[in-house]
Amino acid sequence: KMKVLLLLGLVAVALLYTLHPLQVDFWKPDSPDLVTIGMNVDIHVPAAQLDMVFTILQQSGIEVKIMFENLQEAVEAQMDNKRATKAHDYTKYNNWATINDWVVSISSANADLISRQVIGNTYEGRPMHLLKIGKKTGSAKPAVFMDCGFHAREWITHAFCQWFINEAVSTYGSDPEMTNLLDRMDFLVLPVFNIDGYEYTWTKERSYLMWRKTRSKNSGSSCIGTDPNRNFDAGWCTTGASSNPCSETYCGSSVESEIESKNLANFIRSNKSIIKAYLTVHSYSQLLLFPYSYKYGLAADHSELLSVSQGAIAALRSLHGTRYTSGPGAVTIYPAAGGSDDWAYDLGVKYSYTFELRDEGRYGFLLPESQIKPTCEETMLAVKYIASYVLNNLY
């Protein structure tokens, strides 16, 4: 198994369609439909098809850089040291059973700051826990909603939501900024959105398929799952999304066809009066994106969203020097309809942002556990920057 970085020239786009039937797994961008001239493309090629793919690429004069000679080894290396214990650890990737138990225990251990609810179950029946973090004042407070784990293979995101929750409760009372935030606002955190997909990456497919989508059945197709970030009512299925159930960017049979999408959307709709910011955490690429992705037109609040994003990525960079790029989704990466960030913004949640965490492609979805701590530490700074800004600019 290998991951290949392609530096594409003019012939590339047509060429990728000749690769498509070969079950090439697109890491960046999310599908061959999103490839444009001059773009760097990351693909994962099954070993059996390697010679054929290499021949096609070389004949086409495309520059190829091998990122992983052997993806299986990289998968094993991602778990930096094999764990004897199943105990929850903020600097390791935790499976769903461990996260599920952790959610219950951290909530009960911090009952003064955390209340827990289930906003619904997933397609396969797993509970979608939502943690409300903030000092309990007895009255409604403005809130920031944050979710992680929309896409199953983006493991660093799940790690970040866990890190955030722990950091919030453990620095309350000692860190003035966090204390002020939790006294005056609430964080509504969904630590794992696509639980079924995440569980699947742990049990079946981590090493060779890199599962992204949900795990729902599609009528009339043997292909499983929908891309939940193409499933929202924001220019649904018009651009950068596919109506083919076998595609990684399948938009679903209808808006909110996925129960996970519907559960999240129903919660946000019913709490719209208090939710002032929506943050959704993805990987990888080191980007901070805001609306719009489903169209090229700028958001009504474009200049403010841009300046807040620039402040947030400057705060992030201050810790480890990690460079992010910020901007509207469509122009910064590519058009993509049906995203939760655009949907939340159009619903009236002004400060709507998508994070694409580390890295820029060296490890991609296989970010080593040694990078969990620095990634989470720097991302905390950006989230706190946005939350503080929102608190000082309520609407």
**What's the pLDDT tens digit per position in 309-343?**
999 999 999 999 999 999 999 999 999 999 999 99
Question: According to the model, what pLDDT value does residue 19 have?
Answer: 60
> Distance between CA atoms of 328 and 395, rounded to whole angstroms?
22
Query: Residue 38 has what pLDDT?
Result: 76
CA–CA dist 293, 278 (Å, integer)? 15
Smallest CA-to-CA distance from 354 within 131, 150, 94 is with 150
Inter-helix orientation angle 340-347/259-270, to 10°: 30
Tell me, what amino acid is at 7?
L
Q: In this model, does residue 376 exceed pLDDT 60?
A: yes
The gap from C-alpha 339 to its chain's centroid, in whole angstroms, comes to 11
Look up the pTM and report it: 0.90
- Please give the average per-residue pLDDT across 58-85, as a whole number: 74
pLDDT above 80: residue 12: no
| Residue 49 pLDDT > 70 | yes
The residues that are catalytic are 356
Judge whether residue 222 has pLDDT over 70: yes
Q: What is the pLDDT of residue 9?
A: 45
Q: Considering the chain, what percentage of its residues have pLDDT values greater than 70?
A: 91
- One-letter amino acid for residue 351 of the chain: Y
Cα dihedral sign for 357, 358, 362, 366? negative
Taking only the tens place, the pLDDT of each residue in 258-296 is: 999 999 999 999 999 999 999 999 999 999 999 999 999
Separation CA 390–CA 84 (nearest Å): 43
* Burial of 82 (C-beta count, 10 Å sphere; 0-12/13-18/19+): exposed
Cα–Cα distance between 382 and 236 in angstroms, integer? 29
Identify which has the larger pLDDT, 21 or 45. Answer: 45
**pLDDT-based confidence at residue 10 (cuts at 50, 70, 90):** very low
168-216 pLDDT, tens per residue? Answer: 999 999 999 999 999 999 999 999 999 999 999 988 655 545 899 999 9
Per-residue pLDDT reduced to its tens digit, 118-148: 999 999 999 999 999 999 999 999 999 999 9
